[in-house]
C-alpha cells in the first residue's frame, strides 16, 4: 500500500530539479531502478478479507486522502465525510503514528500505530494483529542499535529522527496536533 511518502518519492524520480532539497536528493540516491519500479506498483488503498473483520480497507490517511489526519478524536461528521462511498465495515488508517480502535456507526476504524516513529509517549514499535479481532501490540527494540544504523546512513534528518525515537510525543500531544490541523468548512 502506498502512503504520502511513497507518493512523494515516486514524483521525485521524474522531477528532481537542480533546486531539489538535500532530503529529496538523499531519497532518490538510495533507490535504484528496481526499487523505484517496485514502489511504483503500490496501490493507494487495498481491500483484504480479514478473518473476523471481513472485507477491510487499508489506506494511509483516510479513504479520500493519504495525508488526512484521522485519530480517535476525529469528529463523527468528518468520519462520515471520508467514509462516503466506502462499503467496507473495517478501515485501517495510518499517517498520524498514533494507535486507536473505534467504531463509528457500524464501521470499525483502526490505526495500528507506527513501528518507525510512534507518537505514543514512549519508545517502541507499535503495531496491531488483525483477525479475528484487533490486538494492539508494542515491541521494544534496542534504541542504541537503531541510532547507530540511522546515523550510519547519513540522512539529513538523523538528529530529528533520534529525538523523536528517544522522546516521542505523547498520544495526547499527537492527537491534539493532528486535530488542530483539520481545515474546517
61-109 per-position pLDDT tens digit: 999 999 999 999 999 999 999 999 999 999 999 999 999 999 999 999 9
pLDDT band with cut points at 50, 70 and 90 for residue 3: very high
Q: Please, what is the average pLDDT of the chain?
A: 93
- Residue 9 contacts residue 39 (beta carbons within 8 Å): yes
> Which domains are present in the chain?
1-42 (no CATH), 44-180 (3.60.21.10)
pLDDT in tens, 113-144: 999 899 999 999 999 999 999 999 999 999 99
Place of cell 468548512: 185
Q: Give 104's strand partners.
A: 107
Place of cell 540511522: 150
The pLDDT score that the predictor gives to residue 185 is: 47
The pTM assigned to this predicted structure is 0.91
- Residue 7 contacts residue 36 (beta carbons within 8 Å): no
State yes or no: pLDDT of 32 exceeds 80. Answer: yes
Q: Residue 169 CB: number of other CB atoms within 10 A?
A: 18
Mean pLDDT within 43-66: 97
**How deeply is 132 buried, as exposed, middle or buried, from its count of CB atoms within 10 A (0-12, 13-18, 19+)?**
exposed
The pLDDT score that the predictor gives to residue 184 is: 59
pLDDT band with cut points at 50, 70 and 90 for residue 56: very high
Mean pLDDT within 50-55: 98
SS (H, E, C) the chain: CCCHHHHHHHHHHHCCCCCCCHHHHHHHHCCCHHHHHHHHCCCCEEEEEECCCEEEEEECCECCECCCCCCCCCCHHHHHHHHCCCCCCEEECCCCCCCEEEEECCEEEEECCCCCCCCCCCCCEEEEEECCCEEEEEECCCHHHHHHHHHHHCCCCHHHHHHHHHCCCCHHHHHHHHHHCCCCC
Residue 133: all three cell numbers together: 479481532
What is the length of the chain? Answer: 185
Amino acid at each position: 500500500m502506498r502512503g504520502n511518502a511513497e507518493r512523494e518519492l515516486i514524483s521525485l524520480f521524474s522531477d528532481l530539479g537542480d533546486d531539489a532539497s538535500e532530503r529529496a536528493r538523499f531519497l532518490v540516491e538510495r533507490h535504484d531502478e528496481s526499487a523505484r519500479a517496485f514502489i511504483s506498483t503500490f496501490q493507494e488503498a487495498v481491500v483484504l478479507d480479514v478473518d473476523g473483520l471481513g472485507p477491510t480497507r487499508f489506506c494511509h490517511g483516510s479513504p479520500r486522502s493519504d495525508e488526512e489526519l484521522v485519530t480517535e478524536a476525529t469528529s463523527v461528521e468528518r468520519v462520515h465525510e471520508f467514509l462516503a462511498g466506502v462499503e467496507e465495515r473495517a478501515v485501517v488508517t495510518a499517517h498520524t503514528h498514533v494507535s486507536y480502535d473505534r467504531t463509528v456507526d457500524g464501521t470499525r476504524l483502526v490505526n495500528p500505530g507506527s513501528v518507525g516513529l510512534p507518537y505514543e509517549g514512549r519508545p517502541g514499535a507499535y503495531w496491531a494483529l488483525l483477525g479475528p479481532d484487533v490486538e494492539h501490540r508494542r515491541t521494544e527494540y534496542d534504541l542504541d542499535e537503531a541510532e547507530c544504523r540511522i546515523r550510519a546512513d547519513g540522512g539529513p534528518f538523523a538528529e530529528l529522527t533520534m529525538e523523536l525515537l528517544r522522546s516521542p510525543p505523547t498520544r495526547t500531544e499527537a492527537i491534539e496536533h493532528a486535530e488542530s490541523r483539520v481545515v474546517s468548512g
